[in-house]
Chains A and B, each alone.
Chain A
Amino acid sequence: MTYMKNNDRLRVLNHPVLGAVKAESIYLNFNGRQIAAMEGDTIASALMANDIKNFRQVNPQAQNRGIYCNIGHCFECRVQIENDVTVRACLTKVYDGMQVSSIIQNK
């Protein structure tokens, strides 16, 4: 088995056992930035694939948080989507044109 060291691209498009997946074809908007996503991505996986690990700020002293468990247990990955609804990024599927933003606590 040979592996490709994948240093620049975080997306695993080809896998020696699991096979290939289709490349990114949709976009979401995170804090005003356009992010390419794959059909079937969660918000968390789309952000991580774009090397975005900071999902939210716990306080103005810049205690940041991102995913921890990736299966819905820890609630660390909370983000806001349309109409200020708070969701767990790791459990929420993306769709084209989705608006996502960080929760910033100012206390």
Chain B
Amino acid sequence: MYDLVIIGAGPSGLEAAIQASKQGVKTFIIDEFYRAGGRLLGQLHQEPNGEWVNGLAIAENLINEAKAFNVQFKLEASVIHLEKSDNGWIIYTNKGVYKTKALLLATGAAERTIALPGNTLPGVISIGAAQVLGNVNRVLPGKRGIIIGVNPLTMAIARELQLCGGNLEGIYLPPKNIINKQDSQPLEIMQRMMGLGNLAPSMLMRIGSKFVPPKLAIQFYPKNGMKVWGIPIYMRKVVTRIIGKTQVEAVEVQHVDIEGNAIGNPEFVPVDFVCLSGGLRPLIELAELAGCDVLHKEALSGAVPLHSESMETKQSGLFLSGNITGVESAKVARAQGKVAGQAIVNYLQPTIDPNKELLNRLAVGVKKARQEALIQFKPNIEQVRSTVYHQYKHG
């Protein structure tokens, strides 16, 4: 029987493990990847002061710190089922069954895909696959490629691929259809990107400017794209299909109006890889299995389990942290992990009072991390989060 089992060895799970284990909580952490670190492993960003944030190195430090506090790791094990027991939780994996008093779900986020013909051809990969391939596996996805989908993650990973020496022909929008919906409308994307005031969109801000309304910026957007870090972003072109006999050979590209409707004749661009960037969503399935209520929040990138600011759920002994509560940057996920870790210590050792104060201080740290985050995935995250906490308390 463990005091605490954590599902997910990403930045959030690791911080929670450290926070709890250093106060004597016997902690076990399960992850299905062959390496701990979660999505932090592939991340590489430049701070405004020029310094690089190297996710691989940060992950290494967190893992070492956790190990120093005797946190045990079980890698390459997928959690497939959860059950409440009289005094805690039972966790079923494909490698064994584990019992614990407290359970933390830190499963992170998953990628959404993009619907278009040819998207199963070899050479078509998700943008996250490209990130891991380049920065973790140290391989380029091909000789010449494109990205489909414009969002903050697109910009971050385009830059990363470029640092790997990759040859990106351009960034395009997905075609308009029932699944891609607003992700294929130039005006909508421009408004979204200009509404975010941080790393990725600041590049589009340079194109427009604070004083140019998105509608004007997109109406006069140059046909041949605008270059950011030397990579053309085609805000007025969509990829209508991916072409190839046994693998990707080219894409069909179509000029569109500001609502995403085709204008003129298609052109063909030869490429050998295509990255699909459809955005992220919280990975909440295990929370649903555990009986959590779910709320739909656009600002949090989809459905999230109901939780408090202290990362508790309505299920006793069940806590959440990181991107399962809404998609945000790794900094925020880490800060949330500390809160969850402390909330779990308080839950397991309810008599110690000063810890409540510490918990409040850590919660302030989450807000600070949010303000400092280089990547903001959606606008209004702070406000929408407080509505979730309010609903937890009063709803």
Chain A interface (Cβ < 8 Å from any Cβ of B): 1, 3-8, 10-13, 15-18, 21, 38, 41-42, 44-45, 48-49, 51, 53-55, 62-73, 76, 90-91, 93
- Separation of A69 and B33 alpha carbons in the complex (Å): 12
A53 touches B123 (CB 8 A): yes
State which of B52, B137, B143 has its C-beta within 8 Å of the C-beta of A45: B137
Chain B residues numbered 132-163 whose CB sits less than 8 Å from any CB in chain A:
132-135, 137-144, 162-163
A5 touches B138 (CB 8 A): no
Contact string, B222-242, partner A, CB cutoff 8 A, digits 1/0? 000000000000000000000
Least CB separation from A48: chain B residue: B139
Interface presence of B246 (CB below 8 A)? yes
State which of B76, B120, B129, B164 has its C-beta within 8 Å of the C-beta of A65: B120
Chain B residues numbered 90-140 whose CB sits less than 8 Å from any CB in chain A:
110-111, 120-126, 128-130, 132-135, 137-140
Least CB separation from B273: chain A residue: A53
Residue contacts A-B, CB under 8 angstroms, 20 given: A3-B162, A3-B163, A3-B165, A6-B140, A10-B143, A12-B139, A13-B138, A15-B135, A15-B163, A16-B163, A45-B137, A51-B142, A53-B123, A54-B122, A62-B245, A70-B126, A70-B128, A71-B128, A72-B32, A91-B34
- Separation of A81 and B334 alpha carbons in the complex (Å): 38
Q: How many whole Å from A62's CB to the nearest CB in chain B?
A: 6
- Separation of A76 and B162 alpha carbons in the complex (Å): 26
Q: Determine the main DSSP class of B at the interface with A.
A: loop
- Separation of A31 and B359 alpha carbons in the complex (Å): 56
A64 touches B122 (CB 8 A): yes
Least CB separation from A1: chain B residue: B163
Interface presence of B332 (CB below 8 A)? no
Chain B residues numbered 50-79 whose CB sits less than 8 Å from any CB in chain A:
52, 54, 56, 76
- Select the residue from A12, A15, A49, A55 with max chain B CB neighbours within 10 A: A12
A70 touches B33 (CB 8 A): no
A10 touches B126 (CB 8 A): no
Contacts of A66 in B (CB 8 A): 122-123, 125, 247
Chain B residues numbered 4-59 whose CB sits less than 8 Å from any CB in chain A:
32-34, 44, 52, 54, 56
Contacts of A15 in B (CB 8 A): 135, 138, 163-164
Known: A68-B120, A72-B33. 4 other contacts (CB 8 A): A15-B135, A18-B135, A38-B138, A63-B120
* Contact of A65 with B32 at beta-carbon distance under 8 Å, contacts A10-B140, A12-B140, A18-B54 already known: no
Q: How many whole Å from A13's CB to the nearest CB in chain B?
A: 7
Contacts of B128 in A (CB 8 A): 69-71
A69 touches B126 (CB 8 A): yes
* Contact of A70 with B129 at beta-carbon distance under 8 Å, contacts A10-B143, A11-B138 already known: yes
- Separation of A70 and B245 alpha carbons in the complex (Å): 22
Least CB separation from A58: chain B residue: B120
Nearest 4 interchain pairs by C-beta: A66-B122, A6-B165, A70-B129, A45-B137
- Separation of A8 and B143 alpha carbons in the complex (Å): 7
Contacts of B34 in A (CB 8 A): 42, 91, 93
A10 touches B44 (CB 8 A): no
Interface presence of B166 (CB below 8 A)? yes
State which of B138, B167, B247, B273 has its C-beta within 8 Å of the C-beta of A7: B167
State which of A21, A51, A63 has its C-beta within 8 Å of the C-beta of B138: A21
Contacts of B246 in A (CB 8 A): 54, 62, 64
Q: How many whole Å from A60's CB to the nearest CB in chain B?
A: 13
Contacts of B76 in A (CB 8 A): 91
Least CB separation from B129: chain A residue: A70
